[in-house]
Structure 1
Amino acid sequence: MPIQPGDAIPEVTLKHIDDGGVHTIDTPTLFAHRNVVLFAVPGAFTPTCSERHLPGFVERFDEFRDRGIEVACMAVNDPFVMQAWGESQNVPAGLRMLSDGNGDFARALGLEMDATAFGMGLRSKRFALYAEDGVVKQLFVEAPGEFKVSSAEHVLASI
């Protein structure tokens, strides 16, 4: 069963890159004592993800920050791909580009999808969640092939 509002974020490690190289971050560290919007995409550099999903959060990043909310993007891609994608999309400093390279977090959330028919293997469903101090307060999971409820605009209007 997928994670639900009221559930604690499962403990998993993710990767990210900054000026100091590749780093591991665990979800308790990422979510503890802060308000976080995490949005996930099926794949970096894919059409909807690159043309609409990530750009919406880039454009509205300051609106989230002004409300005391941190923003993170996650995909089942390696950290080097996530870094390159972030650079190509002019992601602002502070918007974390997280790698769930083996899909462990997507699986732990119950939000994985099988994209083998597209040659992509296990991926994350398109979703956004809002968590306070490691507890999911709101969850926005897209129906297959849709992009509505996990957009930056919808998430901002809903939290």
Structure 2
Amino acid sequence: MLLGPGTLDVGASGGYSIDDGVTIPNTAMSYSGTRALFQADAQYETERWLVAGALHAADLEHDGPTVPETEAQSPVGYYVTGGLNVHDRHQVLARLEGYAPDTPGSSPDDQLVLGYNYDASSVFRVVVNYQASTEDLAEGFLTGRLQMAF
């Protein structure tokens, strides 16, 4: 194999619901209609490399007095990540992620994330990320966090 021997993890999930006046996370709208949700992901990891990706999609069939039943929405999101363990406990990563909400007046939101992880111990990890729109890489922002395993 190109990256060497490693571990491959794959997953998939789906769901279907008939909703009446529910709130969909990250939106301010009340939703009535049917939803079909799909997700698939994979991660391949070796001692030195990490390659991962995921695809999330939905089919939303709206109904109700203000939205014709035939109006559908098909949002899609994804990410692709590549990582390299550069030294003992030090990892650099690059991730391309995107989301296309499929709503009138909206545009796809594609982001590039560059990251650095330092495993300070088996319990603590320091994470630093630079995230920017692929439209303007210079207008990004830097975040940092400390993760603790329980």
Is the shorter-chain TM-score for this pair beyond 0.5, marking a shared fold? Answer: no
Q: Which has the higher helix share?
A: 1
Structure 1 length as normaliser, TM-score? 0.23
